[in-house]
Amino acid sequence: MIKLPILPGAILGILGGGQLGRMFTIAARTMGYKVMVLDPDPQSPAGQMADVHLQAGYDDHGALKKMAEACAAVTTEFENVPAESLIELSRNCRVSPGAEAVAIVQDRSREKTWLRDNGFPTAPFALVGSEGELEAAAQVTGFPAILKVSRFGYDGKGQCRVGSMAELKTAFAEMEGNPCVLEGFVSLECEVSVVLGRGDDGECRAWPVGENRHENGILDVSIVPARISGALAQQALDMAVQVAGKLGYVGVMAVEYFVDKMGGLMINEIAPRPHNSGHYTLDACVTDQFEQQVRALAGLPLGDTRLLSPAVMVNILGDRWKNGGPNWGALLAHPNIKLHLYGKEAARPARKMGHFNVLDADLGEALRLAEQMREQL
């Protein structure tokens, strides 16, 4: 059955009120839609911008009923929304991404197994459900390795590097017996990601491959286009489109990759939502990832993803607020820097407070200025 597009004036809903929800809300309202946000935080960044903010849990049946009755379509801003909530909403309105795809990628154990079973390359891994499985898992991955909790880990949380059986046992005990994935280390050349949109009709539009640098498990800098060969970039793009197709995914998603010293590509994670490494699209592309999220959700044709300028994105964490706060004057003195702040009240260490994009026809110059501003901020 052909689904008619949802046009401006309709209400779109989003589960989650963080910065990704905020940027979705801004895009949707700019395009003429009304937005309803479901998030328990009374000060949620997305709730500040929405027409309606339902302050309730993601499994609150009363709130979900209100959302289903009011909204023409609903999406998510993070992967840990209960799949049951998406199923409940889908009985009355359009929901994307679907519950099945979200359920796979919100659990590392399921995600890694799904990737392996579908023939996608990953780093060596083993599932760990109990202490008795640690030794066999270590034989698969070797040491050093990283133990990651299967659910609710992000930005370096819920994971621990281990170099021996003793350290592995200690780390698993610290995970309080929760199911985990043990991943073998990869000798990395770099890390890259592909952000793409996929519509109901299977059409995919991807943005250029981004090169990512992390610090303490949190994305620090994204460089676009990635400084890799054209053949490797095309391989990453093709693989991401295949992943989206096999998931039956509708919406915006990201696939994060390891590139090893031999130039091999391995999938690290799938994110069923717009992604931090795609924030450069807000200023550097014909269509940004949040407008694309609106388009995919509303059943509209996907927007043009062309890169208009090389760009470097730098995350701004709460750590910058110590010693008097960030030096905004130095940053905003540059006409080719675009600042995006998320409206968060409390600046805590490692909390994402905003980002800035540096645009320049010369990627090397954009990176030089981004690194300079990163230090001066």
pLDDT truncated to tens, each residue of the chain (377 aa)? 457 999 999 999 999 999 999 999 999 999 999 999 999 999 999 999 999 999 999 999 999 999 999 999 999 998 889 989 999 999 999 999 999 999 999 999 999 999 999 999 999 999 999 999 999 999 999 999 999 999 876 555 678 999 999 999 999 999 887 999 999 999 999 999 999 999 999 999 999 999 999 998 899 999 999 999 999 999 999 999 999 999 999 999 999 999 999 999 999 999 999 999 999 999 999 999 999 999 999 999 999 999 999 999 999 999 999 888 899 999 999 999 999 999 999 999 999 999 999 999 999 999 999 999 999 99
Distance CA 51, CA 225 (A): 36
Per the structure, the count of domains in the chain is 3
Instruction: Assess whether 211 and 327 both reside in one domain.
Output: yes
CB atoms within 10 A of CB 188: 12
Residue 106 lies in a domain: no
Residue 109 lies in a domain: no
Q: What angle do CA 164, 168, 172 make, to 5 degrees?
A: 175
Distance CA 258, CA 20 (A): 24
Distance CA 11, CA 20 (A): 18
Instruction: Give the domain-ending residue among 184, 212, 232.
Output: 184
Task: Give the structural domain span for 372.
Answer: 188-376
- Report if pTM > 0.75: yes
Residue 258 lies in a domain: yes
Distance CA 99, CA 87 (A): 6
Residue 222 lies in a domain: yes
Instruction: Give the domain-ending residue among 142, 166, 184.
Output: 184
Instruction: Assess whether 180 and 229 both reside in one domain.
Output: no
